[in-house]
Structure 1
Amino acid sequence: AHEVLGSLGDGPSTAQDTQAAVHALQEAGCALILFAGGDGTARDVCSAVREEQPVLGIPAGVKIHSAVYAISPRAAGLMALRLIEGGLVRLSSGEVRDIDEAALRDGKVGSRHYGEMCVPVEGEFMQHVKQGGMESEELVLVDLADWLAESWEEGVRYVFGPGSTLHGLAQNLGLETTLLGVDVIESGQVIARDVTEAQLFALIDGHPARLLVTAIGGQGHIIGRGNQQISPRVLRAIGLEHLRVIATKRKLGTLEGRPLRVDSGDPALDEAFPDAVRVWSGYREELLYPLG
């Protein structure tokens, strides 16, 4: 099934049409925006896309200097298929470049940096996990703790969901949290442990907050299993854009390609979740993983 967003007017399309399409796709919650063209198209997309939105270029232009394109149209299709089938797709920052027209007028051929976009990159993570070179869960949690410590925001309350992954992460940050409960951290200190839904809502309502969750149970639920304190009104108060999924590649590998799941008890809210989520899986390492 597919849905057509927006419409084109008469005459050739322009950069504004590309930008409008990007805005529409983002508002629709697309997990990955695919676009075809060359460096000019990449510049147009870059000018409209949000920093965190994954995109992938299908090479179809005369000149391509930008590192946001797959090496071939087939490679782009395989990357998209990998995501659809539940493969682990790493995200990285890709540079957008185009011909430096000022230099070209002076008879020099060179390219100029115009920005960066979030792009999926090739990497056989699933195969690595299966082949016995198992990553050390303990070391990965140390790496994740370092990244989280670097990204702490002052005045923001961090809600830690239950599970051994987040409990281990908190321990590496020197925080005493509960293994099976929901805890709230602010300014590097635990301000509430094992909160009820009502207590949690009171702590985050009208206050900047971030929600950290991991996959609970064998079905990969990030919401609705073992963390009922994180209710629909709590999720709305925090904002889905402030959700952080934390999971090692090893844990994702146990899902064997099955998507992560949400079951908040509110079907309309569940529909508002994106088709894929960014998962913190190591130090400054993110994966794009399907959400069913």
Structure 2
Amino acid sequence: MASIGFIVNPIAGMGGRVGLKGTDGVLEEALKLGAEPVAPQRVSIFLGKLDSIIKSRGIKERIEWLTCKGSMGEDLLKEVVSDSWESMAVFEPNDEPTRAEDTKNACKTFLEKKVSLIVFCGGDGTARDIWQTVGEEVPVIGIPSGVKMHSGVFGMNPEATAEIVAEFISGEMDVAEGEILDLDEEKYRQGEWHIRLFGTARTPHEPTYVQVSKVQVEAVGEEAIKEEIAETIVEDMEDAPDTLFILGSGSTVAAVSKELDIEYSLLGVDAVVNKELVAEDVNESKLLSLLDQYPKVRLVISPIGAQGFILGRGNLQLSPEVIKRIGIDNITVISPPAKLAQTPVLRVDTGDKELDESFYEKQYLRVVFRYKTMRLCKIGK
């Protein structure tokens, strides 16, 4: 029987859709803005897929989940009953909401119980808390559920994480090093990009299923190329009067705002109509309100370097409902050539399986990479 530690950060990702760019230290504010838990759904998808894989492939190895009481694991495991595993709570957090110390103490218990793997649901902050306790002693793999996930220890999505765990318990998955990265959320909310490498963890690794760490890509003439791309988008705006242009996060998209000479939130989502800023750093609720007001809409986004994610990482304001209202055909992806060269495929992880499948069925998206110049880029499943 495979003994696996299982830990859930119940508040992971809650700040995303309400535009807080994280939940660390702002849980009360997130709740006031109407934030709802993200982790339970992600865990449910992971467990359902894992159970299906184990049964369909006839995997004989059963799992013994060693987990935490309450919302840190036990409650969610009880909701997905399977004869493929059994579970036991070996740690109890002091109080709700749970804290980083609870995660660290739970991992100490997992080490004492000599687990062979730790599966967690959360974001980069949770990954960092676990790494600070276990180091490279035990492999770890994450079900992505945070707002920011730049570390190389996450599955591409909950289903991919299930594939990883199934192959790991079957002895078919190699273990490699994954970088533990985290962004300073307070500086992030102020529009500053301060990311730090904390160390490396051991993680089950298969490139199809495990995301790589975020890569910052800059090449000679990069700013000039961004300006060319921005000119293309601005000309599109001139050709589409009264159209709502939703501008995603990152320096590539920020070049569009600079070309327009308007205020912008480097790490947030802004809205522009007729080349004028109508809303800055918006959350999901504001976006839905704007979509009610403007029937014609375009979304401009850029992939995360190397990872390739255009949705589901750092822009949770662009929720499944928002994307459905916009429509896949109204999405424009922009990226300088240097970043594209490091990004073999585009990826989505919206949290809505049917919506993700709609992207997969499309297979390719057009990417603007120079002035009025596009190429087709594959959407990776």
Contact 1:141–1:172 (8 Å) recurs in 2: no
Q: Does 1:238 align with 2:326?
A: yes
Is 1:270 the equivalent of 2:362? no
Alpha-carbon distance between aligned partners in 1 of 2:372 and 2:255, rounded to the nearest angstrom: 18
Does the 8 Å CA contact 2:247/2:300 hold for their aligned counterparts? yes
In the alignment, which residue of structure 2 is the partner of 1:183? 270
Q: Secondary structure at the match of 1:155?
A: coil
CA–CA distance in 1 between the matches of 2:313 and 2:306?
10
2-structure distance, mates of 1:227, 1:146: 23
SS state at 1:279 partner: strand
SS in 2 for 1:151: helix
CA contact (8 A) 2:363 2:378 kept: yes
Secondary structure of 2:262 counterpart = coil
Residues of 1 paired with 2:355 and 2:347: CA distance? 13
Matches within 5 A, 1:73-92: none
* Superposition deviation, residue 172 in structure 1: 2.0
Contact 1:182 1:194 in 2 (8 A): yes
How far apart in 1 are the matches of 2:278 and 2:305? 27
Query: 2:305–2:339: 8 Å Cα contact kept in structure 1?
Result: no
1:157–1:184 CA contact under 8 A, matched in 2? yes
The 2-side partners of 1:211 and 1:261 are apart by: 16
CA distance in 2 between partners of 1:267 and 1:170 (Å): 32
1:1-292 matches, within 5 Å, as 134-152=219-237, 153-205=240-292, 207-216=295-304, 218-255=306-343, 257=344, 259-273=345-359, 274-292=362-380
Q: Deviations over 1:156-186 (max 9, x none)?
A: 0000011111112221221211011000000
- The farther-off stretch of 175-184 and 197-206 is 197-206
**CA deviation string 1:55-103 (max 9, x = no partner):** xxxxxxxxxxxxxxxxxxxxxxxxxxxxxxxxxxxxxxxxxxxxxxxxx
Query: Aligned partners of 1:276 and 1:170: how far apart in 2?
Result: 26
User: Post-superposition shift, 1:135?
Assistant: 4.9
Amino acid at match of 1:200: L
CA distance in 2, matches of 1:236, 1:269: 8
Q: Offset at 1:216? A: 2.2
TM-score, scaled relative to structure 2: 0.40
Dislocated runs of 4+, deviation >3 Å: none
Which stretch shows the higher mean deviation, 138-147 or 184-193? 138-147
Give the Cα–Cα distance (whole angstroms) in 2 for the partners of residues 264 and 251 of structure 1. Answer: 22
How far 1:272 moved relative to its partner?
A: 0.6
Q: Structure 2 unaligned runs (5+)?
A: 1-218
Asked whether the 8 Å contact 1:141–1:168 carries over to 2, the reply is yes
Deviation of residue 217 (structure 1)? 5.1
**Normalising to structure 1: TM-score of the pair?**
0.52
Number of corresponding residues: 158
For the residues of structure 2 that align with 1:265 and 1:182, how far apart are their CA atoms?
A: 19
Q: Secondary structure at the match of 2:315?
A: coil
Counterpart CA distance in 2 for 1:177 and 1:215 is 18
